[in-house]
């Protein structure tokens, strides 16, 4: 990826503790106002396994959000509807004042976006 002004790019496997630590190091104690996640697993072609992998990743992201997001901050995450997505939505709602679900008109897959505002901290 070409470098962008005021953008730090970290490439790696988000499930690797070293990558997570790189993110924390870049933040250096600062709390972002917004976290956007478009994370998705490598697709295996086995729907149940792919859904489980996807939910695992977004749950890891939510864990990070809860550790670093500024109180009052916002979070947007791509989620594939299926096993575990309703439970994940309920979990996100426990940490934010308002959560809406949006599906892009152009999307033909099961992807939706959860847009969460007002992190409770």
Stated pTM of the model: 0.90
Sequence-separated (6 or more) residues with CB below 8 Å from residue 61: 14, 35, 37, 39, 77
Please check whether residue 32 lies inside any domain of the structure.
yes
Please check whether residue 7 lies inside any domain of the structure.
no
Q: Supply the residues annotated as catalytic.
A: 78
The predicted model gives 55-76 an average pLDDT of 97
Please check whether residue 1 lies inside any domain of the structure.
no
The predicted model gives 83-102 an average pLDDT of 97
- Of these ranges, 14-23, 40-49, 88-97, 106-115, the one predicted with the greatest mean pLDDT is 88-97
Please check whether residue 2 lies inside any domain of the structure.
no
Tell me what pLDDT residue 105 has. 85
Query: pLDDT confidence of 100, banded at 50, 70, 90?
Result: very high
Residue 36 sits in which domain range? 17-119
* Domain total in the chain: 1
Please check whether residue 89 lies inside any domain of the structure.
yes
> Does the structure show a pLDDT above 90 at 112?
yes
Q: Which long-range contacts (CB under 8 A, 24 or more apart) does 43-49 make?
A: 47/82, 48/83
Closest CA to 79 of 61, 105, 106: 61
Please check whether residue 9 lies inside any domain of the structure.
no
> Does the structure show a pLDDT above 90 at 76?
yes
Tell me what pLDDT residue 106 has. 83
Please check whether residue 45 lies inside any domain of the structure.
yes
Tell me what pLDDT residue 71 has. 98
Query: pLDDT confidence of 28, banded at 50, 70, 90?
Result: very high
CATH value at residue 88 = 3.40.50.150
Please check whether residue 92 lies inside any domain of the structure.
yes
The predicted model gives 62-79 an average pLDDT of 97
């Amino acid at each position: 990826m070409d470098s962008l002004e005021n953008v730090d790019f970290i490439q790696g496997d988000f499930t690797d503790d070293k990558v997570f630590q790189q993110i924390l190091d870049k933040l250096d104690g600062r709390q972002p106002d917004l976290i956007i996640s478009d994370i998705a697993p490598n697709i295996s072609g086995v729907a149940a396994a792919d859904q489980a992998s996807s939910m695992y990743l977004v749950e890891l992201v939510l864990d990070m959000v809860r550790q670093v997001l500024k109180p009052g901050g916002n979070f947007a995450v791509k989620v594939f509807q299926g096993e575990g997505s309703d439970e994940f939505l309920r979990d996100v709602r426990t940490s934010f004042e308002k959560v809406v679900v949006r599906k892009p008109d152009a999307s033909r897959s099961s992807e939706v976006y959860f847009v969460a505002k007002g992190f409770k901290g």
